[in-house]
Structure 1
Amino acid sequence: MSPVTYYFIAALLSLANAACWALNLFTLPGNWLIVLTTALFAWLVRSDAGHGVSWWTVAALAIAAALGELLEFVSGARAVAKQRAARRSVVLAMAGAMAGSLCGASLGSIVPILGTILGAVFGGAFGAAAGAYLGEHT
């Protein structure tokens, strides 16, 4: 593989991983998509000549993503237990966060980049709060 082709594909990987990372704003599984795109890169671009990504790196990314999921789950469960929230409100809050962030990003897309990000964050927060409220008071 020529160096130009390699660096072009590596730049595409960087852009794809940045886009996947941004999906976390929409409460979508961006970390796991980073693992997937990096695994695809490791499979397509061999690391024999010192270039590319090794499978050890892909494994480290998968472990980091799993630890992130575990940390998110444990911190959320502890916060819910501390507040004595009902399970229904937790499920509705998660669904509301996803729906709210997608709607907020769509509505905020009128203003490029910043509007989408702020719309996703505030829409997700509003959706989570609305879902939790509905779960506790209905």
Structure 2
Amino acid sequence: MPTWAKVSAGLALAIALLGFAGLKATSMKSGPLVQAHGTTYYGGDGPKAPPVPCKSESEIRSAIARVHAKYDFYGGARLKAFEQRATLKKGLPPLRVDTLYVITEDDQMRDGEMVLFIGLASNCVSTVFSFPAQLYRELATGPGDGV
């Protein structure tokens, strides 16, 4: 077999295999991206979270009373001002809540190092997270707040 025929056959085989691999790669759905800090899912492919029952503001207030908590309440203009300070000082995203309770002290808090945020949207708890108390104090102090 002449050399040019061997080269041609090798090139044809390589092109066919590359085409097949490319077709297979484009036809397969991309899987989740696994990173050091967690897994990122695209297009809603992640695990389905069970629906969380709505906890109303009255339930939150009664829970706060049960643990003898001291809290700060943010709503309306005061909440907007708090969110703006958080964005300007620390680059935090907006909370997208109507009211915000910040539990600063209760029977369960340890050494006052953390505060608990409970955000309600449409009279239903939409977000709960905690922050270091020192960071909260830095964000809470603003003109007209007196927190």
TM over 0.5: no
Return the structure number with greater helix share: 1
The structure with the greater share of residues assigned to strand is: 2
Which structure has more relative contact order (CA 8 Å, sep 6+)? It is 1
Q: What is the TM-score with the length of structure 1 in the denominator?
A: 0.29
Query: Structure 2 length normalisation: TM-score?
Result: 0.28
Q: Based on CA coordinates, which of the two structures has the bigger radius of gyration?
A: 2
